[in-house]
Structure formats: structure tokens, C-alpha cells
Amino acid sequence: MTANIETKDLTRTYETYMKAQGLLKSIEGLWARKTELKIAVHPTTLRIDKGQIVGLVGSNGAGKTTLLKLLSGLIHPSSGSAQVLGYEPTSRKPEFLKKISILLGQKNQLWWDLPPADSYDLLARIYEIDRTKARERVRELSELLQCTQQLQTQLRRLSLGERMKMEIIGSLLHQPEVLFLDEPTIGLDIIAQTTIREFLAKYVHERNPTVILTSHYMDDISLLADRLLLMSQGRIVYDGSVKEFTGRQEARQTLSLKILNPPAHNTNIANQFTLEAGALAVKQDLPAHAIGDVLQALMQVSPIQEIKIEEVEFEDVIRSFMEQDARLRTPGRSPTT
């Protein structure tokens, strides 16, 4: 296997200015300021092979986005080095940039006042793709994402979920070999989340790009990724298969539902989930990975009126993981492997 992404002691620190409280301190701040060094990414050595789908997980501020930005050349490392597809990302060579793509959740690369179709024409020019080919590709992708209808509507009139779908099409237009997805499903409703998740699964299966995906949702990771990196406070604290992690972790979520047509008999919807006869409201703990299946099966039985899924706080997942890890760790074995 060839390595598509390699880093050696990649590090990034920020200098922040500490804000003092009160008017007097603020006036003092005019000439004397205290700064603080914050390490966003501790020295990280990493190797990701071609075609690998890596899930990058961690709480807010763990350093996930910083790592993605380092690898896509948006920010310069404070020390250490990175190689992506044989290029040094920060030199931002056009040949390199044509082969990668980064999708930042809730940020638009498409023109706000234009219909996505027009933005894609522009992107085709920027990436030097033949226009007819680009249009063909947009058609294909938009069908898969079920958003063909909205291609001619100004971006600002689209819903958050539709916008994200459009952004995804935009970032895949030039068929990147390496794809950085930063929170592609954040803030979206469950239907849009599922569509996007399934689309991505299909896409990576067919095209086989190298992907790093960050997400708050364990479901995204478990469905898509074959390798999991867990980040905490700027360090990678777990690197291994998703299965092994979820096996050890057994992440669970609470699913609360209100349905419109309760079944007449107790009905087994999917493994571990049963609808009782006549019950309008259901609340049950489920393994996180099963929720998608359950919802899909449930929609066949009855229209759903209300859905609430309570995530286990990610901090808790990590903490409990770290505790387990400390318990399981045999003496001499490094905690980061």
C-alpha cells in the first residue's frame, strides 16, 4: 500500500492574548499584554494509506479541524512536516490543490446569491474541468443526493440540509483523490443526515478516495470509516479499527419517538426494537449504530411525528474510553497505540 498522507511530528501552536477583566485592567492592556501559548496539535506522526477512510473524532477544541487544515495546507505547522500525495501541503501547488478537497461544515464555497448550477460552472472553470463533463457529473451527484430540483434555486433560499448537499457536490466536482470532510452532517435534520451519510458511503465505495472525516456523530464514523483516530486535547489517544473501539465502547443512544399509526400487535421492527400494540410514544436505549436501521424500518410501519435522539456526550465517551484504556493497558504499552 502506498501512503497518501504522512506526517512527522506535525505540531501547531497558537498565541492568544489573555483578556483582563475590568476597565482599569483594560486600559493597562493598551501597553502591557499577556499572551499565552496554546498547543492545538501536539507532535503527531501519522500514516494514512491510499483509499483508507479515517474517522477523526474528538470533543470541541480537540484539534481535529486544525489537523485537517494543516493537511490541506490552509495553515502552516509550527514544527514538524506533512506530505499529502507526495506534496508539501503548505506550498499549495495548483497540481496538489486539484487533487484534494476540503469540506468545512457550515461554510459556503458556493456563491450565496447564485443558483448552485451557476456556481458549479464557475468551479469547473477554476478546476479546469470540461463544462459538459462537469454538468454531467453534477447531474449524477445531485440525483444520488436527491437535490436535482434545487439546482436552479439561489443558494440563500435553500435549507441548511440542501445547502450542505450542494456544497458536497461542489467539493466532489473535480474528483479529488484526497477528501477532507469536516463535520459534513453538523446541525442537519436526521433525514438529511441519513441521505448524506448513505451518499458518502456509496461514493467512497465506488470512487475509492482517501478520506479523513471528522464528526460529532458516531454514526457517521461507524458507517463510513474503517479506521478511527480519537483526539483529545491535541493528541491522538486512540488509533485503530472502528469495530474494536465500538466493541469496547458500546456507544448507546436514547431514541424517543411519537408515531401516528401504532400497530395493532406488538411488532418487532428491527433487532432489539419492538413497538408495543397501541403505543403512540416509544422511548428506548439502542446501540448508536442501530438507530439508522430502526428508523428506516419504522418508517415502513408508521409515519413518525416526532423524533428525539439523545447523544451520549462525547466528552463522556472519551473519558470512559480513557478509563477503560488505562485499565486494559498492560505495563509498557504506549497509550497512544
Partner 1 sequence: MLGCARLAALQQLEYRFNLIADTMIQPFIVGLVEITLWVAFFASTGRAELVGFSRESYLAYALWAAFISRVSTSWMYESMMIEDVESGNVNAVLVRPISFFEYYLGQLMGYKVLTTAISLMAPIAICLFLDLPVDMTRLPVALALVFYYLILVHLISMVIASLGFFFTRIHHLTVAKNITLWMLTGEFFPLDIAPEPLKSILIALPFSSAVFRPVGYMTGRVSLASIGEGFVSITIGIVIVGVVATYLWNAGRKRYSGTGA
Partner 2 sequence: MTMLQKTILKYLGLLASFFKASLMSELEYRFNIGARIVTDILWYTAQLSVFEVLFRHTTNLNGWNLPETRVFMGILFITDAIYMMLFSENLDRMGEKVRKGDLDLLLVKPINSQWMLSFQKISVAYIGNLIIAIGWLLYALSQIGEFQWVRLIWLLLTIPIGLSLIYSIRFMTSATALYFTRADAVTYIWYQVYRLGTRPHAIYPEVLRYAVLTLIPIAFLASVPAEILLDKSRPEILIWGLILSVLLIKASSLFWNRGLRSYSSASS
Report yes or no: 39 and 28 within 8 Å, Cβ to Cβ: no
Q: Does 26 bind partner 1 (CB under 8 A)?
A: yes
152 lies in the binding site for partner 1 (CB under 8 A): no
Q: Which stretch binds partner 2 (CB under 8 A): 113-121, 200-208, 215-223, 254-262?
A: 113-121
Q: Could you tell which of partner 1, partner 2, none binds residue 75, using a CB distance below 5 to 8 A set by kind? A: partner 2
Q: How far apart are CA 38 and CA 244, in angstroms?
A: 32
Lateral strand order in the sheet of 281-287: 281-287, 252-259, 304-310
Q: Which does 26 bind (CB under 5 to 8 A by kind): partner 1, partner 2, none?
A: partner 1
Nearer of residues 24 and 264 to partner 1, judged by Cβ: 24
Instruction: Choose among partner 1, partner 2, none what residue 140 binds, the Cβ cut-off being 5 to 8 Å by kind.
Output: none
Question: Is 107 or 308 the residue whose CB approaches partner 2 more closely?
Answer: 107
Q: Which three cell numbers stand for residue 334?
A: 504506549
Closest CA to 120 of 102, 135, 142, 132: 135
Q: Which stretch binds partner 1 (CB under 8 A): 25-33, 92-100, 210-218, 223-231?
A: 25-33
Distance (Å, whole) CA 31 – CA 240: 49
Does residue 336 contact residue 237 with C-beta atoms inside 8 Å?
yes
Q: Count other C-beta atoms under 10 Å from residue 91's C-beta.
A: 8
CA distances to 142, 188, 296 from 195, in Å: 12, 11, 11
Nearer Cβ to partner 1 (19/308):
19
Min dist CB 54 to partner 2, Å, is: 19
Q: Does 132 bind partner 2 (CB under 8 A)?
A: no
> Is residue 76 close enough to count as binding partner 2 by CB under 8 A?
yes
Interface with partner 1 includes 159 (CB under 8 A)?
no
Return the one option of partner 1, partner 2, none that residue 23 interacts with (CB less than 5 to 8 A, by type). partner 1
Contact yes or no for 270/297 (Cβ under 8 A): yes
Instruction: Evaluate whether 57 touches 215 at the Cβ level (below 8 Å).
Output: yes
User: Which among 238, 236, 258 is positioned nearest to 249, based on CA atoms?
Assistant: 238
Among candidates 34, 29, 39, 40, which has minimal Cα distance to 18? Answer: 34
**Which residues partner with 11 through β-bridges?**
79
Q: How many residues does the chain have?
A: 337
Residue 130 binds which of partner 1, partner 2, none (CB < 5-8 A, kind-dependent) = none
Among 30, 37, 326, 328, binds partner 1 (CB under 8 A): 30
3-state SS class at 44: strand
Range 195-224, binding partner 2 (CB under 8 A): none
Q: Is 19 in the site for partner 1 (CB under 8 A)?
A: yes
- Helix, strand, coil share of the chain (percent; to 5): 40, 30, 30
Give the CA radius of gyration of the chain: 23
For residue 96, the minimal CB distance to partner 2 (Å) is 8
Residues touching partner 1: how many (CB under 8 A)? 6
Q: Which amino acid is at 9?
A: D
Binding mask 100-119 for partner 1 (x = CB under 8 A): --------------------
CB of 32 to partner 1, least distance (A): 11
122 binding partner 1? (CB under 8 A): no
> Given candidates 27, 122, 260, 299, which one binds partner 1 under the rule CB under 8 A?
27
Binding residues (CB under 8 A) for partner 1: these are 19, 23, 26-27, 29-30
Using CB under 8 A, list all residues that contact partner 2.
Answer: 14, 60-61, 65, 69, 72-76, 90, 92, 94-98, 100-102, 104, 107-109, 111-114, 118-119, 121-122, 125-128, 154
